[in-house]
Structure 1
Amino acid sequence: MMDLQSLLASPVALPSIPRVIALALTELNAPEPDALRVSSLLGMEPVMTARLLMVANSARFQRRRRVGTVSEALAILGLRPVRDMTIEAAMTSAFRKVGSVDMKQFWRYSLDTARLTQLLTRARKVEVSPYTVGLVHALGELVLHRGMPKEMEQLNQRINVFAPQRARAERELLGYSYAQVGAGFARAWQLPEALVETLEHQDAPFEREDYEPMAGILHVASWRCRAHELGYTENKLAVSFPDKTALALGLDVGVVLAHAPVDWASSQEARLFLE
């Protein structure tokens, strides 16, 4: 078995990202980002350019004329949303196929967690996008599968990748879980510290020092979405509900448990992450 530092130092486990995206993220994470440099860098990346223009021209902004350049899109969207979009693009493009993991299911589950995390943080002041946190929270699992494929396949035979108990099983086997791997991965990519801390503590938000509330919200959201993937009955949902965390955060149990099937992401939506 590899310890955490050896795993994170493995070039096999950690994928690289396009140099332009890496430079853009570095600039976006600076105390005072240079908007001109950001727009110049992102303008060299076709996929990001298309995504920024699509969002800037969406009905949400009610523009009378179409936005045609990255710099215009940046002015409309703002630096923080663009940073979140760049993080999402970097992480989703880095993982296309990983061992035997069903990537369509993985992104469908991640989309569900992103939406529920966003829902549960309404009216709360947070440092990082709840949607982005939810979308990338389980990427540590993919790093584990890349770095230790045999060990993860053996673990998969004992417990489903999407089981709510997965993090505990990984801690028992390795001494750490996908949460700490994801945090180390995010730190290596120089992503915002608030995002790193949320990822690091999500599996056991009350068991470590410096409790991060956002990690608790993510913990509850991911539990609900994992339970959905495994088809939990109402009785099993009630029995396994992380009530200690939810109570401490003042989360509405009804909202968490009643997340209706109509809200779940479709396979078609998840497939977009594989194109």
Structure 2
Amino acid sequence: MPEALIDAIRSQLEKRISMKALALPMLPQVTTQVLSLVNDVNSDAAALAKLIQSDQALAGHVMRIANSAAYSPNAKMTSLQQAIARLGMQNMSDIAMAATMGPKIFDAKGFESLVKQIWEDSLATAVWAREIARQGRRNVESTFLCGLLCQIGRPVVLQTVIDIANQDELTIDEALVTQFMQQYQSEVGQQLAKHWQLPVAVGHTIEGINSTVAPSHSADVVATVKAAQVFAAVTLGDRNYQADSLSADPTIIEMNLYADDVQQLLEKAESIHNTIAELSL
């Protein structure tokens, strides 16, 4: 595509971003309700079970994952209350959020496989972030959601660029949209986080995930998600885990994860792969 046309698309994209005129997708109502329950200190397992049961498709999906080998290798559960009691509200809410978000909420005709790839990368990052937080005895509660949504601006940029190209009857390729996603995902993602009224740590993670500047807010969570991306890259690649090379990664060093910590995480790799696979279905 001629540079002049690329610049024209960029100009229109930047105009929509600056004017906050992006077509932001709606967060599914049940996801909003799950988030609200998880952040409510007075909520309990019964309330979460009732909410999930209000959507039969979601309830079936959540129970299937809860009973998978990744979450319940030794015993099957017959009710949501039992699943929540055994796995905990945080695990069950993570499953519910992963089930209700995903590629289906974005309109990216012709680039469905790219949106799916972004989502699978996000799931891998979320699962590893949770494990890294546990390993480092850090706050686990927000790390899964922050990992899951750290690059949520990408598909929004993608669908906006598609819309601009369609209006001008232009043909765009994956290399071009990838360039735009990389450049604008942080600003767009932060707009979406505010639109969805997500926890502030999610916005901080979106802002800091690709920044070389040390984050001024939620630094611990941002560092955890960055480290998770290192593990996720191998998960989605050849799975040739090398404890020494991972331990030497600057992002891992910043997390104060030592060789023994990395090795202990790698010993959970098969279980983590299974969890990612279950959540991505």
Q: The TM-score by the shorter chain falls in which range?
A: 0.5 to 0.7
Instruction: Name the counterpart of 1:98.
Output: 108
Instruction: Name the counterpart of 1:194.
Output: 201
Instruction: Name the counterpart of 1:85.
Output: 95
Matched, 1:73 2:83: yes
1:214-229 correspondence to structure 2 within 5 Å: 214-222=221-229, 225=232
Instruction: Name the counterpart of 1:109.
Output: 121
Shift of 1:50: 1.5
Q: Which letter does structure 1 place at the counterpart of 2:51? A: L
Instruction: Name the counterpart of 1:157.
Output: 175
Change (3 A) 1:27 1:94: farther
Shift of 1:203: 1.4
Which consecutive residues of structure 2, in runs of 5 or more, have no partner in the other structure?
1-13, 166-170, 239-244
Shift of 1:141: 0.3
Are the aligned partners of 1:16 and 1:94 in contact in 2 as well (CA < 8 Å)?
Answer: no
Shift of 1:49: 0.8
Are the aligned partners of 1:17 and 1:94 in contact in 2 as well (CA < 8 Å)?
Answer: no
Q: Which letter does structure 1 place at the counterpart of 2:15? A: M
Number of aligned residue pairs = 247
> Over residues 190-216 of structure 1, what are the superposed CA-to-partner deviations in whole Å (9 max), with x where a residue is unaligned?
333333322332111634423612212
Are the aligned partners of 1:144 and 1:178 in contact in 2 as well (CA < 8 Å)?
Answer: yes
Identity, % of aligned positions: 20
Which secondary structure state, in structure 2, belongs to the residue aligned with residue 32 of structure 1? coil
Q: Which letter does structure 2 place at the counterpart of 1:199? A: I
Change (3 A) 1:93 1:111: closer
The root-mean-square deviation of aligned C-alpha atoms, in Å, is 4.4
Instruction: Name the counterpart of 2:52.
Output: 42
Higher alpha-carbon deviation: 140-149 or 17-26: 17-26
User: What's the TM-score once normalised by structure 1's chain length?
Assistant: 0.66
Change (3 A) 1:43 1:119: closer
Which secondary structure state, in structure 1, belongs to the residue aligned with residue 217 of structure 2? coil
Shift of 1:119: 4.5
Matched, 1:247 2:253: yes
Distance in 1 of aligned mates of 2:86 and 2:235: 37
Instruction: Name the counterpart of 1:123.
Output: 136
> Over residues 227-250 of structure 1, what are the superposed CA-to-partner deviations in whole Å (9 max), with x where a residue is unaligned?
88799xxxxxx8xx962x443322
Shift of 1:26: 2.6
1:170-185 correspondence to structure 2 within 5 Å: 170=183, 177-185=184-192
Distance in 1 of aligned mates of 2:48 and 2:186: 30
Higher alpha-carbon deviation: 208-217 or 55-64: 55-64
Q: Which letter does structure 2 place at the counterpart of 1:84? A: D
Change (3 A) 1:57 1:247: closer
Change (3 A) 1:191 1:109: same
Shift of 1:45: 1.2
Are the aligned partners of 1:143 and 1:181 in contact in 2 as well (CA < 8 Å)?
Answer: yes
Shift of 1:142: 0.6
User: What's the TM-score once normalised by structure 2's chain length?
Assistant: 0.65
